Each structure stands twice: as C-alpha cells, then as structure tokens.
A and B are shown apart, each in its own frame.
Chain A
Amino acid sequence: MSSHASKNIDNATLWGGKGSPFSISYGKLMMWFFLVSDALTFGGLLIAYGFIRHKYTAEWPIAEDVFHSVPFFEGHFPLIYVALMTFILIISSVTMVLAVEAGHRMDKKGVIKWMAATVVGGLIFLGSQAWEWSHFIHGDAGYLITQTGEKVTFETHGHHYHDNAELYKGADLVLSDGTVVTGERKLTLIENSLKHVQGANLKENQYGPQLFANLFFFITGFHGFHVASGVVINLIVFIQVLRGTYDKRGHFEIVEKAGLYWHFVDLVWVFVFTFFYLV
C-alpha cells in the first residue's frame, strides 16, 4: 500500500527492464486496464441513457413515482428501498477493503472474516435486485387502452388491490381529459377496452416511454451481471484463502485484484443510482 508504492526507486532500475515503471505487478496493472475498458462500456451505456432521456425530456417518468415500494410494507416509500440497496453495496465494498488491509498484515483470519462478509453482502444485493426487477415487471394498477386508442388510468384512492377483479370493482377510471368515470359506464369501458398495460417489459411499459424500461433492464441487468460474477470471483478467492494457497505464496495480492473488481462494481452502482433514481 502507501508504504511500498511511494518508495523511491532510481530511474535506472525503473526503466532498465529490472522492474515495472508502475511499481505494481503485471496482474494488478492489467486489472486496472480491464476496469478502464469496462468503465468505458458503462459510461457509454449511461451516456446513451442521458441522450434518450434528453430527447424525451417532458414525458420521462419521475423516479419517486416508479420506485416507491419496500418488501413486507404496504405504502408509499419513495427511494427508500434503492437507498438500502446502495447502502448494502457500499458496506460490502468496505468489508472488501478491510479484507485487503488484513491481507497486507498477513492476517489470514481477518481476510477470511471480511471476505465472507463481502460475499454475503453481494448475495443480499443480488436478492434485492431480483425483488426490484420483479416489482418493476409486475407494476401496479397501470392503465387501459380503449377502442378509440385513449389512455385511461385508474384512481385507486391510495388503496392497494391484490388482483385485477378487485381493482376493476373498487377503483375509478380517469379519462385523458381528467373526467372521472364510475359505476355502470366504468364497467362497460373496462369490458370494451383493448388492453390493460400493467408493469413493464421489453414491449410495453406503464411508467413512461418504452425506452425507459429497456434501459432500466439493460443497465441494471448488466450491472447485476457484474455483481454476480464478482460474487463468484470473491467466492473462489475465499475458498483459496481457506485452503491456505496464499499463505504458501507469501502474499495476498489476489485479494487486492478481486477487490479492485468489487470496488468497481460499487463505483458503477454509485453512478447508476444517481442517474436512474435521483436525477
């Protein structure tokens, strides 16, 4: 760490083929270059998101209206769940950096403890993301498309309906000009409607422009794929630590390399969180 990297090495040693001018090992340098290319991929995706969003400035959905549910609690909690997910990922990043620190002290027990915590944190994050996706896909009341192509929304008065039969019976309809429809006319309208759009998938999206759902699936999905592979990498390193492979090698540098990747996953989430949920 700071002690070795800032050590003065004379230029003849540095550039004479006797050591790396970067003063880090080949593997770590290549991990950095891989992360730069991966960061460019994510940068490209997020900038494409910004481009499309800028194009649809007016109709883009407001995140607080889309992501406001928390498992096991009914009600309106904007951003709380995703904040929790962010917090879980930050904490698992912290446990990873503590594992790296323990590795520098050759403290095998510490590395085992913190690596295990990191793997658990990653798994919790993946589970949370699965719930988030499932909720996004299933949606809530959604809207109807009538025979004239008009978009008719439901007024649920803050009520939560468990199935569509209850929803049709209990909720009122709101036409696109703001008129509230109840009673017999409402039922006819529902019966004659062409389609009931609920939740989001790659073909329809109750929350706003179709591309919002597509980008959500692609960017958070690509990030989730990185988290999943990070968990697998951490698990492999964890097992090798248990087996004592790195004790024999004399250093825990592999924990540092895996850690770089894991921190990168956290870093990407910081940006996804800002641009998808906050801005």
Chain B
Amino acid sequence: MVRDDIIEYSVDAHHSEAEGAKIRKKIYFVTFLLSFITILEVAVGIAFGRGSVDGLTWSIIKWSYIVLTLIKAGYIVLVFMHLGDERKLTRYCVLLPYALFISYLIFICLNESTYINGVLTLFGSR
C-alpha cells in the first residue's frame, strides 16, 4: 500500500540532539517573551483602566495593546506553529488569503459602525 504520509519530506522531519537543544532554547525564549508581554499588559490594564485615564492616553494604551497582541500572535504562528520554518510558498498560501479577507472585514465594519454611531448620536435615539 502506498502511504502519502511517509513520503520524503515527512520522514526527513527528524533532527539530532544538538539541533534539538538549539530549538528548545528558542522555545524557552519565546515562552519568556510571551509571559513578559502578558504580565506587562495586565499590569498596565490594572494601573490605567479605560475609566481612569483621558481619551488620548487611552488611545495610546489601546494601540499598544493591539501591537503587543500582534507581536504575540506572530511569535506563536512563526515559532510555535513552525510557519517561519516552512517554505515561502506555504507561508504565503496561509497568510495572504487570511490577511486579505480580514483587512477587508475590519475596514467595512469600522466604516459602518462609525456611520451607525453617528446616526444614533445625531438623532438622539439613545
């Protein structure tokens, strides 16, 4: 029986003890980084909640949260899920369609909710 899960590239997915030690070091580094970012986010959240700061400070905090989240997501996808080690073709096949759809969805929702918020404010229905 021909089995397509034992073709060349799958069986090749082995590494030596020395390579393993290097990879584990990277894993521990990313673990530290993810924990550090999470602790930082929570500390900022406790110290400066949305209710206790002015609008400008809050929008700086909000955007830093979003950037930090994207950094965390990047490390999870590229290191933990090994997408960074795959071929370029695989990377683009996974990331490009997603980025395309999601950025369109974000655009349309921000646009429309701003409009609805404006209408509700203008006509005072709440």
Residues of A within 8 A of B (CB): 1-7, 19-27, 29, 32-33, 35-36, 39-40, 43-44, 47-48, 50-52, 54-55, 57, 62-65, 78-80, 83, 86-87, 90-91, 93-94, 96-98, 100-102, 104-106, 249-251, 253, 256, 259-260, 263-264, 266-267, 270-271, 273-274, 277-279
Contacts and interface: CB of A to CB of B under 8 A. Distances in A.
Interface centre among B77, B80, B105, B117 (most CB of A within 10 A): B80
A21 B89 CA distance: 8
A240 B85 CA distance: 27
B122 interface: no
Contacts of B49: 62-64, 78
22 contacts: A5-B82, A6-B85, A7-B12, A21-B87, A24-B9, A24-B87, A25-B9, A40-B98, A55-B117, A64-B50, A83-B42, A87-B35, A97-B79, A101-B20, A104-B13, A251-B6, A253-B10, A263-B80, A267-B81, A274-B69, A279-B50, A279-B65
Contacts, number: 197
B98 A79 contact: no
Interface of B: 4-17, 19-20, 23-24, 27, 30-31, 34-35, 38-39, 41-42, 45-46, 49-51, 62, 65-66, 69, 72-73, 76-77, 79-82, 85-87, 89-90, 93-94, 97-98, 101-102, 105-106, 109-110, 112-114, 116-117, 120
A80 B42 contact: yes
